[in-house]
Amino acid sequence: MITVCPFVVALADPALALVGPAQEAPQFAPYVVMVLYRSGADTSFCTASVIARNAVLTAAHCASDLLDTRVFFRGSQGKLILFDLASIAVHPDYKPNASRQHQVSIDLALLRLTEPLPAAFKSVELAKADRIIAGQRYRIAGFGRGDEDTTGTSGVLRAGILVAAGPKSNSLAWLVDPNGTGLGGCTGDSGAPIFRIDQPQLIAMAIRAKGSNGYSCGAVTEAVQISPQMRWIQETLHSWGTTWGMAQ
């Protein structure tokens, strides 16, 4: 079922968004949506990549249960178009408390919608073989807070360029602002796609941010590399009868 409501949802303690000198990026609107989820009394949101018109990829910590998780985008006149979910598949190596226990966690979840997104949406290409390369530049695109000191700066799709500081492990990577201006992940943007610099080809997905000087965001963006997780992604989509696009 699709529902429409005004954009007045109280988003308490959202999960990761772009801060710093990112630019509005309407050109990526066909490839990304938002995920709304409830955890206890709090309502939060994240970003997700469109894998197929009925399936999106986001961070596992952004998925609650079927009744408390929705996919949405902003329609005309500032209204939210919300989609219910038919299935949630969480990566088997996701560990909710991994950061506290210094463990590697594959923070990924696939969400299957009960109805397809409108025809204006397009599937990202999945990069089967490409991995993050230290020193190489990538483009991150997400919704969320643009300024930690200012409320009401989320909900706008923005993009910026980050450089890989090196892989954290075979599955995870660190990315930083090459210009040192504080651009990076923050609240509202867990699940933000990290693309090749020249096309919407999904290389990694943002899951966590770190800040400096008392801030929580903008210093380092941690990401899950997509290539090592392709078998799980493909098997899950195949079990749903969903087709997807692969980079050549």
* Whole-prediction pTM: 0.90
d(CA 91, CA 68) in angstroms, rounded, equals 19
pLDDT score recorded for residue 22: 82
Give the right CATH number for 126-227 from 1.10.10.60, 2.40.10.10, 3.40.50.1000, 1.10.600.10. Answer: 2.40.10.10
Q: Parallel, antiparallel, or unpaired for β 42-52 and 32-39?
A: antiparallel
CB count within 10 Å of CB 246 equals 12
Per domain, the residue ranges of the chain are: 2-8+29-124+229-246, 126-227
Give the torsion through C-alpha atoms of 235, 239, 240, 244, to 10 deg. 30
pLDDT score recorded for residue 125: 93
Nearest to 147 by CA among 212, 206, 207, 216: 216
Give the right CATH number for 2-8+29-124+229-246 from 2.40.10.10, 1.20.58.340, 3.30.70.20, 3.30.930.10. Answer: 2.40.10.10
Answer for the pair 237, 138: CB distance below 8 angstroms, yes or no.
Answer: no
- One fold for both 2-8+29-124+229-246 and 126-227? yes
Low-confidence ranges of the chain (pLDDT < 50): 1-17
Answer for the pair 183, 18: CB distance below 8 angstroms, yes or no.
Answer: yes
Give the torsion through C-alpha atoms of 57, 60, 80, 85, to 10 deg. 80
Answer for the pair 58, 64: CB distance below 8 angstroms, yes or no.
Answer: no
Report residue 154 as tokens: 């989320």
Answer for the pair 32, 74: CB distance below 8 angstroms, yes or no.
Answer: no
Edge-first strand order for the sheet with 69-74 is: 2-6, 79-83, 69-74, 32-39, 42-52, 55-58, 109-113, 85-90
| DSSP-assigned states of every residue in 8-69 | -----S-----BSS-EE-GGGGGGEEEEEEEETTEEEEEEEEEEETTEEEE-GGG---TTTE
